[in-house]
Every structure is written in structure tokens, then in C-alpha cells.
Structure 1
Amino acid sequence: MKIEIAEFAGFCFGVKRAMDMAWKKLQDSQGNTIYSLGPLIHNNQAVERYQQQGLKIADSVDEVEEGSVVIIRSHGVALSVYDELMSRNVEIIDATCPFVSKIQKIVSKDYAKGKAIIIVGDPLHPEVIGINGWCGNNASIIKELEDVDNMELDSTKEYCIVVQTTMNSDGYASIQKKLEEKLPSAVFNNTICSATCERQEASRKLSEKVELIIVIGGLHSSNTRKLAQVCSANCRTMHIETKDDLDIEEICGYSTIGITAGASTPDWIIEETVEYIKGAHKNRR
């Protein structure tokens, strides 16, 4: 059996930065209660490790204690959330991914100029919800190509278009092409993170040369699901959270296996999975 790991797999820059900032604050807590607004990342196993160190998860600002510490995760939050947090006299650790912050600034600036905002992405994803909060929650949100036909677009208006950082690049290209036909003067900002593009391309290339791809990451992680979608076009694909989700009987039937992982997947989970497969294969020889 040959196992190959994709060139780009696991934590991206923004997630690693947020996790490092949160871990450092937990180690230096000095008895303060530390919250994250929502789970730090879309990986249950990693989040549990931080909770064991004392991190509390708040689903809203109302759940945050006065005078505590609050970590804004890499997905970012709406502009109004900062005001709400400051009114509760908390220390804010802003771990918003710099690539997400860039989108927030573009949206805020162009909305102030009177432009209509379109966000291409998942309307239920925290990143998109946060970005929308930088233009008064007045953005139009497009998730699928067919959404473009269902939108009321005014070609006389000025439009600013941004993209969720983890959007599938091929999916966005199709949406952009259709929008360009309807809004020839719109300004398109391709804000898909370079790490997302690299990860998807590396996974695609690997899926073309192996029999099976195992995609490791949270089942609710947007970027991980997109990796599974990209790989499934070329070979048998399994999306798992940990090694415990593997069907080892099926795994041992393949001679070439590829491993890739979402941006919220820690290295230790990838390593555990690889060693588990190797051990199972060795025991069956």
C-alpha cells in the first residue's frame, strides 16, 4: 500500500494564527474567564482540547461575562459585535483572519460609497454572516449558480462583489461569468484565499493518481466539504473527522491512497490517521 499526503493539507495561515493566539491567551489567563464567540474552528476534536484548557464557547455576546476575555475567531464577526463587546467591558482578542478582514474593509468602504454589495458564498457560514455585518446586513448573497437568475439586479446601480475565502474556485468562476453578463460594470473582487486555491488544486492533482482519497476534517467545515467535492470527481472519496470513522476493511482493499485535510484539521489528526492505516495494513499482511 502506498499512502501520499497532499502538498497542502491541514491548518491554513489564518486558522493557525487564531489557534496560536487563543492558546497563548489560555496559558496567560491569570484567572480570567476566556470565551470564543462560537467554536474557534470547525473541528470538534481541536475545540475540545482548548475547552480542556478552560476555553468557554459563547454563542452570542449575551452569554459573555462582564470584564472577561473574548476571542473573535478567524471567521470574523459583524461590525456591530465589536460595539456590543466593548459595552460589556471585555478584553477583545481579535483573531479574524487577515484575508477575511480585507473583505470586510472592501465591503465597508464600497457600501459607504453607495454601492450595492453581493457576497458569493454560503449565507449560513459565519464568515459570510460577519462580512454582511459590515454593510448593514444589506448584501445580496449568492451560493449557487441558479441563485443569479432568481435575483433582482439593477444594471443602473454600482455593484461591489466579494467572495467567501473558502469558495470553490470553479464554482465562483461560473457565477462571475453569469453576473458579468447581467452587470457589465460591476467590480469583482476575487477574495478566495490563495491557500484555499492551493489546497483544492493539490487535492485535485492527488485524486487523479490514486484509487482512494481520504479527506480529513469537520463534517460541517465548508472548505473540507469542498475538498471532498473536488476529489470525488476523480476517485473514490471518503470524508472523515478522525481515524475512528474509517471503514478499515474497505481501506485495505486499495493499493494507492491519498490523504488531504481541511484548513481546520490539526496535524496530529492527520498523523494519527496515517499511522492507523499503516498499522491496520501491516497486521493484515
Structure 2
Amino acid sequence: MEVILADYLGFCYGVKRAIKIARENASADGTACTLGPIIHNPQMVDRLRREGVGSVDRLEEMEKGTVIIRSHGVGPAVYDEAKARGLEVVDATCPHVKKAQLSAKELVDEGYSVVIIGEKEHPEVKSIFEWSSGKAQIIETEDEAEAIEPCGKLGIVCQTTFSGARFRQIVMRLLEKSRDIRILRTICTATDQRQAAAIDLASKVDLMLVIGGKNSANTTRLAQLCSEKCLTYHIETAAELQDEWFDKIKKIGITAGASTPDWIIKEVYKKCQNR
């Protein structure tokens, strides 16, 4: 049985940066916490907790210490509230997300009607929306794009981990909505690379294993793309592998989301090799 790793997989720059920042600000007394999980990988979040980086859902849960802004970012009001509570703020927002946030703000300030293409419930998209002062519209389908009212000036930004192909399809439906359109393609390069590599590998193997948090949007998207090419399983750890999956399988492909640690990828790879 041949096991092949995708050319691009695992931690992206923004995730590596966020993890590094979190570790640099760890506190043995439990006063360093991320606001929400720093990345969408439960195993990494648990490891950071053991290293002295906790996690809270609301600033009200912190009386003192350091709040670490997670990679998905937050709106401007959160920074103000944290400072008002006397908390030290350390910003681990992914630079690509920060670019999308500031792009939304810039478009609003210049009088554009702003559309954010992305998943409405994703924390990154919520943060971009907040940087638009709550004035943007969030869409994630072509039908929703069709429903956008024509306007004088239309600005478009995107969730950094959104599918490039879907972004283009949705933008095509928006082109007729205004004669003055600014399209800021804020999908990061790492997303494009991982998706292209996963699709390429999935077309050459019998089975794909996509490793990453079940709550990770970019990992879920990789699994969806791979499933269009071959039998695909989305797993978080090697413990989820089932013997029956590998019956009559000759080639296995492995990819992983941008928030998946190397040690988890290695465990899955070794377990597959030993079959």
C-alpha cells in the first residue's frame, strides 16, 4: 500500500505565528487566555492549555492578565473592552485576516456598499463584518449574490479560507450589480495551495484522508473537494482510522487543514504505512 502526502498541508504561516505568540505569552498562573480557541484544532488547543495558555469565551471571564486575540480576529469593540477591563492585549490575528478586516473598513469609509463572501457563522467572517461597522452584507451562495440590490458603488472582500472557485462563481453574479466595483480577493495563498494540491492528489489515489478539526472550515472544505475525486474521510487523529476503510485500497493520499499540527499528520502517516 502506497501512502502519499500532499505537496502542501498542515500549519500555514498565520497559524504558526499565532501558536508562537500564544506560547511566548503563556502563564503558569493561568492568567493568559485566548478569546475563543486560538485555532480550530482541539488537540492543539488542549496542548496549549497544558503549556499555560487557557481559553475563555467572553472577556467577562477574565479579571486580570493577558488576553490573546486568536488567529480569526475580532472586531474593534473587543480591543476597547479588553483595555477598559485593564487586560493586556496580545494580537495573534492572522495578517491575511487583518488585511481582510482593514479592506472592509476602507471600502465602507470610501462609501462602498460592502459584500463579504464567506460563511456567516465563521468567527473570521464575523470579525470582518464588525470592521465594516456592521454595514456589510454576508453571502456564501450564488443565489444570495443574485438577491443583492444594485448600488452605485460595490466593494467585495472574502473570507481568507474560502474556496477560490466558489469565490469566482459568486463574483460573476455580482458584476451586474454596479458600474463601480472594487474586488479585493482576500483569499490567502496557503488556502489556494492546499486546495489545489489536495485536488491533484485525490485524482491519483483510491482514498484520501483529510486531517483536521471537525470545527475547521478550511479542513472541511478540503474534505469536500477531495470527496468529489475519490473516497474521502475527514479525521482529527489516527485513533479514528478504521480497518475496513483500507480493504482493496492500493494508494492512500493524505492532506491536512491549515490548523493541523505536524505531530498529528505524522501519526496518521505512520499508522497508514504500517498497514
What range is the shorter-chain TM-score in?
A: over 0.9
Q: Could you say which residue in structure 2 is the equivalent of 1:165?
A: 160
| Within-5 A mapping of 1:1-285 | 1-26=1-26, 29=27, 31=29, 33-66=31-64, 68-151=65-148, 153-155=149-151, 157-279=152-274, 281=275
Q: Using the TM superposition, give the Cα deviation of residue 183 of structure 1 relative to its aligned residue in structure 2, in angstroms.
A: 2.6
Structure 2 runs not aligned, ≥5 long? none
Distance in 2 (CA, whole Å) between partners of 1:268 and 1:251 is 22
SS in structure 2 at match of 1:274: helix
Q: Using the TM superposition, give the Cα deviation of residue 201 of structure 1 relative to its aligned residue in structure 2, in angstroms.
A: 0.3
CA contact (8 A) 2:154 2:177 kept: no
Letter matched to residue 38 of structure 2: L
Q: Using the TM superposition, give the Cα deviation of residue 249 of structure 1 relative to its aligned residue in structure 2, in angstroms.
A: 2.4
Q: Using the TM superposition, give the Cα deviation of residue 210 of structure 1 relative to its aligned residue in structure 2, in angstroms.
A: 0.5
* Superimposed CA distance per residue, residues 199-255 of structure 1 (whole angstroms, 9 cap, x where no aligned partner): 000001101111111000011110001101111111111111111111122225311
CA contact (8 A) 2:5 2:254 kept: yes
Q: Using the TM superposition, give the Cα deviation of residue 31 of structure 1 relative to its aligned residue in structure 2, in angstroms.
A: 4.0
**What is the CA RMSD across the aligned residues, in angstroms?**
1.3
Distance in 1 (CA, whole Å) between partners of 2:168 and 2:236 is 29
CA contact (8 A) 1:32 1:69 kept: no
SS in structure 1 at match of 2:131: coil
Distance in 1 (CA, whole Å) between partners of 2:30 and 2:2 is 48
Letter matched to residue 97 of structure 2: V
SS in structure 2 at match of 1:186: strand
Letter matched to residue 250 of structure 1: W
CA contact (8 A) 2:70 2:92 kept: yes
Letter matched to residue 195 of structure 1: A
User: What TM-score, normalized by structure 2, do the two folds share?
Assistant: 0.96
Q: Using the TM superposition, give the Cα deviation of residue 58 of structure 1 relative to its aligned residue in structure 2, in angstroms.
A: 1.2
User: What TM-score, normalized by structure 1, do the two folds share?
Assistant: 0.93
Letter matched to residue 59 of structure 1: D
Q: Using the TM superposition, give the Cα deviation of residue 103 of structure 1 relative to its aligned residue in structure 2, in angstroms.
A: 1.1
Distance in 1 (CA, whole Å) between partners of 2:4 and 2:29 is 44
CA contact (8 A) 2:129 2:136 kept: yes
Structure 1 runs not aligned, ≥5 long? none
Instruction: Give aligned-pair identity as a percent.
Output: 42
* Superimposed CA distance per residue, residues 112-131 of structure 1 (whole angstroms, 9 cap, x where no aligned partner): 22221110000100000001
CA contact (8 A) 1:119 1:162 kept: yes
Aligned residues: 275
Distance in 1 (CA, whole Å) between partners of 2:242 and 2:67 is 40
